[in-house]
Amino acid sequence: INAEYMGGGCRPFAKLMCIKGVVFFTFWQQITISLMVHLGVLKETGNFNTETIARGLQDFIICWEMLIAALLHHFFFPYNEFNGLPSRDHDPSIPIELRMEHVTPLRFEDYQASLIKNEEDRTSEE
């Protein structure tokens, strides 16, 4: 969905930064933690070696990052932005293969009947 279709209030830059921020911070925090291990800032303690401490620190920070990302997503990707937009399901400019109006639930009986019919067609051709 492009910005013109959605109207003026879609804030594409904020959305891009929200997504890219997760990747950016995760990458650089891993570099920082690896550097801390290399420089000896993170040291072995008791039952934990430096690799375990580094991995635990990375996991702990990512948990907090995801909490912040979830809050930002709630703010920058609100559901009400899409209220009033035309549904893709009935838009004639979209190919029918991409619309959902022609999709029916799959039932085992239909699949079984199709297999039987295909088998009958195959045997009748021989």
* CA distance linking residue 65 with residue 87, whole number of Å: 34
Q: How confident is the model at residue 122 (pLDDT cuts 50, 70, 90)?
A: confident
Helices (H), the chain: 3-6, 12-39, 50-76, 108-125
Locate tokens 């910005």: which residue?
3
Site of tokens 């009748």: 124
**What's the mean pLDDT in 17-35?**
91
Residue 75's nearest CA partner among 6, 7, 17 is 17
Q: How far, in Å, CA of 90 to CA of 123, rounded?
A: 40
List all residues 6 or more positions away from 92 whose beta carbon is below 8 Å from its beta carbon: none
Q: Does the pLDDT at position 30 exceed 60?
A: yes
pTM for the complete prediction?
A: 0.55
